[in-house]
Homo-oligomer: A and B are copies of this chain.
């Protein structure tokens, strides 16, 4: 039942480091990023490479805790630790790292990180007032100027149109993937879909598109034949699960669930909404729509979760928070309440990257899945 596209994904990933350094040798600039808010269209339009940064492993947490408080989200600590330990090839390849003021922990961590790597930090507003939109357009403009300066390449209309089309194409394929996952049985395991999102931040976008095209074909075949995975259908909703961090999805699928969607930065927040106009304003508009928990009055997110449960025929929601992530954690109360109103079963999990709570989580998830 193994999918060829997933096999190819793993191969491309295994080869990515070498490929990236080759691209770099050929003169391409590399821009590292932490977050779904970075408009990769601008990087691609300058003939440069956007690449996600490592931050999903517990191994680099202790070295980070030499500088950062212990009670900070594991993703922030892990990322910082990777740079400090020089153990992430993407971090090491990055000419500039692009950050954004999505959350307190990350924002302040950048002040320490920028001693080790050249950084450009975008100011993200938390409301969607007219002035806030203007500010964000300005931030996107400044990013464009920085990329142009760094690469020496002018981002003209034509180049931007091309890159917008390419990224939209990838997004449409992810939409298609979600449509296919809505089938019963669902044609792909959650763990494979998660890896696809995780590696989409790391791979060359042309490779990601190629893999997605093949995957969609394979899954269409499986759906036609009625092949796939049965089990309680779970939507995972919450914090990003970056490469290396597969804990929750693995646990859910170990205890008889099957993850059919991810309302996550490694999921819907990565691909939902196309860029409508290939302009700075059009790009700014699309990215400001991302319903991140950092937004004040983030009702779109709650509507999104409810919609996804329906569209994906999910039986329940696992609300996933990384420890000490205040935004997703506090928002969880409202999400839980709204889902319960609709009769949608939900369990809230808060965890870090360690192994210590795995047995306890497994027991809780098992009980949840039996109950629904």
Contacts and interface: CB of A to CB of B under 8 A. Distances in A.
A240 to B, nearest CB: 15
A71 interface: yes
Contacts of A297: 111
Contact of A296 (B67, B72, B101, B324): B101
Contacts of A329: 69, 71-72
Contacts of A324: 71, 324, 326
Contact of A330 (B109, B134, B333): B109
A220 B69 CA distance: 42
A254 to B, nearest CB: 26
Interface in A294-345: 294, 296-298, 323-324, 326-327, 329-334
How many of these chains are in the complex?
A: 2
B112 A123 contact: no
Contacts of A134: 131, 134-135
A293 B108 contact: yes
Given A132-B123, A331-B111, A104 B294 contact: yes
18 contacts: A67-B333, A68-B330, A69-B332, A71-B71, A71-B324, A104-B294, A105-B326, A105-B330, A108-B331, A111-B296, A112-B334, A121-B127, A125-B125, A129-B138, A131-B134, A131-B135, A134-B134, A135-B135
Interface of A: 67-69, 71-72, 101, 103-105, 107-112, 121, 123, 125-127, 129, 131-132, 134-135, 138-139, 293-294, 296-298, 323-324, 326-327, 329-334, 350
